[in-house]
Amino acid sequence: MPLHLDTSSPDFAERFTAFLGTKREVSEDVTRAVAEIIAEVRARGDAALIDYSRRFDRIDLAEAGIRVTEAEIDAAMAAADPKTLEALTLAHERIRAHHARQLPSGGRYVDALGVELGHRWTPVDAVGLYVPGGTAAYPSSVLMNAVPARVAGVGRLAMVVPAPDGVLNPLVLAAARLAGVDEVYRIGGAQAVAALAYGTPTVAPVAKIVGPGNAYVAAAKRQVFGTVGIDMIAGPSEVLVIADGEQNPDWIAADLLAQAEHDTAAQSILFTDSPALASAVEAAVERQLATLPRRDIASASWAEFGLIVHLTALAEAPALVDRIAPEHLEILTADCEELAAQIRHAGAIFLGAHTPEAIGDYVGGSNHVLPTARSARFSSGLGVLDFMKRTSILKCGPEQLRALGPAAIAIGEAEGLGAHARSVAIRLNL
C-alpha cells in the first residue's frame, strides 16, 4: 500500500514534511575502502585492476584483457537483434539532433568604455563514461551519456563497464559503437573510477568522469573530484504524475510502475484532485503488477515509497511539486501547460496524456540523465554544456586601462594586495 496524504487533513503539512525527509537509500560508509582502492590503483596500475576484478567480478583480466577488443564489439553488433539495433539507431539519431541544439556560442563585445569582454566555449579533451554492470547495464544510458559528449566535440571517449563472471551485455557494447565511444574497458567499481582519473599503463587518464554507479562508484567520484570533473551523484529514480479526473487510470498505473520497476528504492507519486481516479489507479497498479516481469521490485517500491496525494484543487500542486523537485514530472491534466508554467523545480516535464516518461527515457531525444533525490532544486539534466567549459576573455587598451585603473588600484589597496595595485599603477606611471 502506498502512503496516502490529503491536503485537507489538519496534519498534512507535517506529514508532507516528514515524507520529504524519508531516506530511500541506506547510505553505506565506504569512504575508507574506496580511498584504499584508489591508492592501490595509483600505486600499482593495471596490476591493481587485475586483482580487484578477480576479487569483485570473478574475472581474470590478465587473460581476458582489460580493454574490450574491436572484434568483441563487432561480434556484439552482429549478435544484436536487428529490431533492437534499429530502435537504438533511431534513439541515437534523435538524441544527437536534440543535443546539437544545445551547442553554445561564444562571443565578444565592446562596452561603452571600449573594453572588450567575451567568452569562448571549448570541449573537454577526454571523458570517461561509467556504465554499471549486471542488471542495470542499459544501452539507452550509454547513448544518453556518450552522445552529448560527442556532440560537444570531446576528443576521446573511454567507457568502463564491469564484466561480472566475464559477462558483458552485448547491447551495451552495441550502443557504445553507435555512439562512437573510442575505448571500452571491462572494469568497474572504485578501481575503474581511479583508473580513469589517474591513468594506468593501459587506461589513459581522462579529464571528466560521468555515469551512474553503486555506493563505491559514487564515493570514488566524490574523492577524485578536483583531479577530474564529475557529473552529479545519481540516486534512485522517481516520477511524479499529476492527473485530473478525466485521465485513463490504466495509463497512469503503467507509468507509476515503469518507475517502480527500476529499483526497490525508486519512487512513484500520484497527485490528483479526483478520489475516483486515485482508487482506479491503485486498483490498476495491483492488476498490472500481476503480469509484470519485475513485479517483485516494482511492488516493493510501490508499497514502501509510493505516495498518493489527494488535492482539494490542482492549483495546490505547483508549490508541493517544487518541494519534491521530482526527477520526472508527468502532467496529465486539461490545463497541463498552465500547471507546468507554475512549477520551478523538476528535472524533466512530460506534457499531456500521450507523453509517457518511457518515451523520454528512450527516443524522445532529450536526456534521461536527470537530477534525483530533490537535486532538481539546484542541478540540471546532463547536456552538451557538461562536456564543455568556458574561457573568459578580457582586453583593454591604454585608454580603457586609464579609465578603470584607479578603481582597481583603490580596491587592491583596500584589500592589502599591494602588487595588485602596482601592476595597474606601473602601467599608468602612477
Residue 415 in marked binding region: yes
Min dist. Cβ of residue 350 to a second copy (A): 5
Least Å distance between CB 62 and a second copy?
28
Burial class (CB in 10 A: 0-12, 13-18, 19+), 355: middle
Does 53 appear as a known binding residue? no
Total length of the chain: 430
- Check the annotation: does 138 bind a ligand: no
State the catalytic residue, choosing from 183, 261, 327, 357. Answer: 327
3-state secondary structure of 195: helix
The owner of cell 516518461 is 357
Do the annotations mark residue 420 as ligand-binding? yes
DSSP letter (8 states) at residue 134: G
263 labelled ligand-binding: no
CB 313 to a second copy: min, Å: 23
* Grid cell 485530473 in the structure block, residue: 244
Helix 31-44 vs helix 46-57: angle between axes, to the nearest 10 degrees? Answer: 140
CB 68 → a second copy: shortest distance, Å?
A: 20
Q: Which is nearer to a second copy, 65 or 107 (CB)?
A: 107
**Which of the following is catalytic: 98, 99, 310, 328?**
328
> Closer to a second copy at the Cβ: 8 or 101?
101
Give catalytic status of residue 116 as yes or no. Answer: no
Residue number with CB closer to a second copy (53 or 247): 247
Q: Does 237 show up as a binding residue in the annotation? A: yes
For residue 262, say whether it is annotated as part of any ligand binding site.
Answer: yes
Residue 21: count other Cβ atoms within 10 Å of its Cβ. Answer: 6
Residue 413: CB minimum distance to a second copy, A = 8
- 362 appears as a binding residue in the annotation: no
Grid cell in block for residue 205 = 587518464
Nearer to a second copy, 64 or 403 (CB): 403
Q: Would you call 86 a catalytic residue per the annotation?
A: no
* Cβ burial, residue 311 (10 Å; 0-12/13-18/19+): buried
CA–centroid distance for 309 within its chain: 27
Min separation Cβ 151 and a second copy, Å: 15
Q: Where is 108: in which H helix or E strand?
A: strand 107-110
120 SS3 class: strand
Amino acid in the structure at residue 34: V
Which one, 16 or 64, has the nearer CB to a second copy?
16
Name the helix (H) or strand (E) containing 32: helix 31-44
- Nearer CB in complex with a second copy: 53/299: 299
Chain position carrying cell 497498479: 285
Residue with Cβ nearer a second copy (7 or 400): 400
Cα-based distances in Å from 250 to 275, 359, 367: 15, 17, 26
Give the E-state strand segments of 299-347 in sequence order. 307-310, 328-332
The CA–CA distances, whole Å, from 240 to 254, 259, 266, 269, 404 equal: 13, 10, 11, 5, 52
CB of residue 60 to a second copy, shortest distance in Å: 28
Contact 30, 214 (CB under 8 A): no
Query: CA dist 117 to 105, 397, 398, Å?
Result: 14, 12, 15
Binding residues: 130, 191, 214, 237, 259, 262, 328, 361, 415, 420
> Which residues are annotated as catalytic?
327-328
Binding residues for NAD(+): 130, 191, 214
Binding residues for Zn(2+): 259, 262, 361, 420
